[in-house]
Amino acid sequence: MSRMTSRTSPMAVTRRQVGALAAAAGTMGLAACTGGSSRGGGGSRRAGIRFLYATGDETWNEVVQGVVDAFNERSETAEIQLDPLPSGSDYATALRTMDATGNWPAIVDMRDTATYISAGKLSAIPESVTDLLDPDAIGAAEDGEIYTVPSSALNGEIGLNIVYDKDYFEEHGLAVPTTYDEFIALLDEIKGNGDAPLATAAGEVWPSDQLWKPLAAPMFATYSDAGGFWNALGDGEAAIEDLREPLERLKTITDGYVLDGWQSTEDAQTTTLLVNGQTIMATSSAGIGRLHDIGLARKSLTVDQAAWA
């Protein structure tokens, strides 16, 4: 969970953020390209560290640029080089192409995280970096290691990424769940209060898997050595039946707890639903940008964001 509310300015670059990025740059220095950029009149050179990420949400773009600019201004040894993938591009496909060609950057905005972890493609982030972060911003994988931060950046790949009405939770004595069963119990309690528990968006292709992806990721990850589930299916090593459990869980949530009209709801509309009190929680892939949008629309509403398994 990220300790952020709608009152938090996403453009504020904290010493902790820059320090964490500096530590990450130091630990990934061996993966950085040898060519550097000149800094200052002394002709000293800094290691270039490539950072691949998906663009799209303007607030997210501004946050990335702000943190990177602050880091580059302070660092004497390394320079982050942004490698943004334009909005509208298929980022998951771009990652697979990058993997196939061996063109991995030092820092990457991940998709299909569990699959790449199982395939041994990602290195765990060392404690020297994670110790600089708010503990609530960290989400561990099944092996207990930290591969991506913050946890809310996982886009639902290691846990459900949910923006929720923090005031409502406190008023009704609700706790952030840590398991699927606890999540269903939470949905039941909110529904029992006469409120709509959850909004999600399937009106666009890219956010439509915000529930499906975290529910199916553990199963898909088991086929990483076989080239992924669909390749394993074609080779007869997997079966459509393997999809039954995550699909049944998805159907349970959408049929019983999701606000009506989700099939035509666009991702940005979930902000309006939260602000207007039409739902208590909403799936999100916009991260900090979604919290910022809510803060602009209704400053009196305190929200938080959590990723849970």
Lowest mean pLDDT among 38-52, 134-148, 290-304: 290-304
How far is the C-alpha of 145 from the C-alpha of 143, rounded, in Å? 6
Per-residue model confidence (pLDDT) at position 171: 93
What is the mean predicted confidence (pLDDT) over 63-74?
Answer: 89
Question: Comparing 227 with 307, which gets the higher pLDDT?
Answer: 227
For tokens 């972060």, name the residue: 133
- Of the pLDDT bands very low, low, confident and very high (cuts 50, 70, 90), residue 154 is very low
Distance from the first to the final alpha carbon of the chain = 12
Per-residue model confidence (pLDDT) at position 206: 64
Average pLDDT of the chain, as a whole number: 73
- Of the pLDDT bands very low, low, confident and very high (cuts 50, 70, 90), residue 306 is low
How far is the C-alpha of 308 from the C-alpha of 283, rounded, in Å? 12
For tokens 């560290």, name the residue: 49
What is the mean predicted confidence (pLDDT) over 218-232?
Answer: 80
pLDDT at 18 over 70: no
Question: Comparing 292 with 24, which gets the higher pLDDT?
Answer: 292
Question: What CATH architecture applies to the domain 15-154?
Answer: 3-Layer(aba) Sandwich (3.40)
How far is the C-alpha of 32 from the C-alpha of 300, rounded, in Å? 44
How far is the C-alpha of 45 from the C-alpha of 58, rounded, in Å? 31
Which CATH superfamily hosts domain 160-308?
A: Periplasmic binding protein-like II (3.40.190.10)
Per-residue model confidence (pLDDT) at position 187: 94
CATH 3.40.190.10 range(s) for the chain read: 15-154, 160-308
CA distances for 31 relative to 27, 34, 35, 46, 106, angstroms: 9, 9, 12, 14, 6
pLDDT at 107 over 80: yes
Per-residue model confidence (pLDDT) at position 7: 27
How far is the C-alpha of 64 from the C-alpha of 143, rounded, in Å? 28
How far is the C-alpha of 228 from the C-alpha of 231, rounded, in Å? 6
Percent of the chain with pLDDT over 90: 19
Q: Which two tokens stand for residue 281?
A: 């929680």
For tokens 């790449």, name the residue: 116
Q: What is the pTM of this model?
A: 0.55
For the beta carbon of residue 30, count every other beta carbon within 10 angstroms: 7
